[in-house]
Amino acid sequence: MSYDLIVIGTGPGGYVAAIRAAQLGLKTAVVEKRKTHGGTCLNVGCIPSKALLHASHMFEDARDHFEGLGIGVSAPKLDLKKMQAFKQEGVDGNTKGVEFLLKKNKIDAFIGTGRIAAVGQVEVTAEDGSNQLLQTKNILIATGSDVTRLPGIEIDEKAVVSSTGALELESVPKRLVVIGAGVIGLELGSVWRRLGAEVTVVEYLDRILPGMDGEIAKNFQRILSKQGFQFKLGAKVTGVQTTSKSATLTFEPAAGGAAETLEADVVLVAIGRVPYTEGLGLEHVGVQKDNRGRVLTDAHFATNVTGIYAIGDVIAGPMLAHKAEDEGVAVAEILAGKAGHVNYDVIPSVVYTFPEVASVGKTEEELKGAGIAYNAGKFPFTANGRAKVNRTTDGFVKILADAATDKVLGVHIIGPEAGNLIHEAAIAMEFGASSEDMARTCHAHPTLAEAVKEAALAVEKRAIHM
């Protein structure tokens, strides 16, 4: 059997690419080394983390907020085993869904580790050691990423965990120390804080969420602190000593100074992810990587070796599932002779805490850095009727528009439903809208989305409810 396309890795990038390729008539196969499809995202990333974020949010609401709404309940009891089963059911439902879609699209799925034996050849090694060699016109590397490790700190997935272990804890740690104030640290920190852990986040930089708009990050840190998060910023972790029951973390000011220690029941290492290409045989066929280990590609996802392409976390760009998916669609369309394209200027990102943080386009820091003059319009949820009545008023919407043309360049939101609201901005930006366009679009009342319209009005200092 010879294929038009073999995709290595069935994460959001790989399985979406395979489906789109099959839709376009390419004879397609996938190779996946996990027993289930869906990659990091469905198995140990987006989906299980969102299940625990949802369940823990419900738990906290029942404990702390129901009474204020006139709903009398006795103190909720945590059944963590059941909550973990709820999470796993969600994961299984999603991974089975991918398996169904692969079958539906007549894509051959091989479970085993894929290695590029030569141009046009993929060797699949199954768990029992058996091998088979598949022939193909094109190969797509979609092998994703892996946890970044801290030198000298061993992740045993018990006392010192990665995100994978932090999704599997069997009891709520009394003290959770998170290394890294990025997306994973704040999302999974939120889960365990809501369920009763004291959470301290140790971050090397002097701010949380590097890359996000600075004003948003500062306000978000204040909100998280109010919720009980403790932050040690500008702190360099130098070691973690573990006993059978707990861990002692040593850190010192990044700028230099006396060392301090923190006691923890569990330490979560969440300092980023690295592209994963182990055992793929890239060196053997001469596929080039950059200095951060990412597979080098051109604007059409082609590597330097003819017939070998790459997408998703394993190449440059934000490590996000929807970025990988869009690249998957684009590369399949390119291989089928169409004009596949990803607009990297409009890739939303969301932190699924409560409130959520969502962002699309340029931050104020980026605009300043690029010397682009802009106007900013801001509107707080305290002035939005729906947020007010729901008592979810933490946060605001910020719209950044070009000072000369009024074109929307960036939108940043902290607030309830921010992860959904941001798509209004993404669509507007995709169509090249001005803040005037957003401001003149009728928004239903009473909705949280009115805060987006008011922020657009605020660009020209004419918000109504402020």
The CA distance from 337 to 300, in Å, is 12
143 binds, among ligand FAD, ligand NAI, none (CB under 5 to 8 A by kind): ligand FAD
20 binds, among ligand NAI, ligand FAD, none (CB under 5 to 8 A by kind): none
Residue pair 379/397 in contact by the 8 Å Cβ criterion? yes
Query: Nearer Cβ to ligand FAD, position 176 or 324?
Result: 324
* Angle made by CA atoms 280, 326, 407, in degrees to the nearest 5: 135
340 binds, among ligand NAI, ligand FAD, none (CB under 5 to 8 A by kind): none
- Is 405 assigned to a binding site? no
Residue 90 binds to ligand FAD (criterion: CB under 6 A): no
Residue 280 binds to ligand FAD (criterion: CB under 6 A): yes
- The H or E element spanning position 262 is strand 260-264
Query: Nearer Cβ to ligand NAI, position 358 or 433?
Result: 358
- Is 50 assigned to a binding site? yes
- In the chain, the amino acid numbered 262 is L
- Is 196 assigned to a binding site? no
Query: Nearer Cβ to ligand NAI, position 8 or 212?
Result: 212
The residues pairing with 378 across neighbouring beta strands, listed in sequence order, are 398
- Residue 443: active-site member: no
Least distance in angstroms from the C-beta of 200 to ligand FAD: 19
Within 10 A of 13 (CB to CB), how many other CB atoms are there? 32
Residue 12 binds to ligand FAD (criterion: CB under 6 A): yes
Q: Which two tokens stand for residue 108?
A: 């051959």
- The H or E element spanning position 453 is helix 450-459
Residue pair 398/377 in contact by the 8 Å Cβ criterion? yes
Please count the CA atoms within 13 angstroms of the CA of 152 that sit on its side-chain side: 7
Least distance in angstroms from the C-beta of 452 to ligand NAI: 20
Query: Nearer Cβ to ligand FAD, position 36 or 230?
Result: 36
Residue pair 454/411 in contact by the 8 Å Cβ criterion? no
13 binds, among ligand FAD, ligand NAI, none (CB under 5 to 8 A by kind): ligand FAD
Query: Nearer Cβ to ligand FAD, position 167 or 177?
Result: 167
3 binds, among ligand NAI, ligand FAD, none (CB under 5 to 8 A by kind): none
State the binding string over 347-386 for ligand FAD (x if CB under 6 A, else -).
-----x----------------------------------
Q: Provide CB contacts within 8 A for 291, sequence distance 6+.
A: none
324 binds, among ligand NAI, ligand FAD, none (CB under 5 to 8 A by kind): ligand FAD
Backbone φ and ψ for 360, nearest 5 degrees, come out as -145, 140
- Is 184 assigned to a binding site? yes
Least distance in angstroms from the C-beta of 307 to ligand FAD: 17
- Is 427 assigned to a binding site? no
Give the residues lining the site for ligand NAI (CB under 6 A).
Answer: 150, 179-185, 187, 202-205, 210, 237, 270-273, 318-320, 349-352
- Residue nearest to ligand NAI according to CB distances in the complex: 182
Q: Which residues of 307-325 are buried (b: 16+ CB within 10 A; e: fewer)?
A: bbbbbbbbbebebbbbbbb
Q: How far is CA 309 from CA 33, 279, 284, 422, in A?
A: 19, 17, 16, 31
- Is 145 assigned to a binding site? yes
- In the chain, the amino acid numbered 72 is G
Query: Nearer Cβ to ligand NAI, position 98 or 179?
Result: 179
Q: How far is CA 189 from CA 42, 198, 266, 318, 352, in A?
A: 20, 9, 11, 21, 11
The CA distance from 114 to 135, in Å, is 12
Pick out the residues of the known binding site for FAD. Answer: 50, 114, 143-145, 313, 319-322
- List residues forming the annotated binding site: 50, 114, 143-145, 180-187, 203, 272, 313, 319-322
- Active site members: 445
Which residues of the chain form contacts with ligand FAD (CB under 6 A)? 8-14, 31-34, 39-41, 45-46, 49, 113-114, 142-145, 163, 184, 276, 279-280, 312-313, 319-322, 324, 352
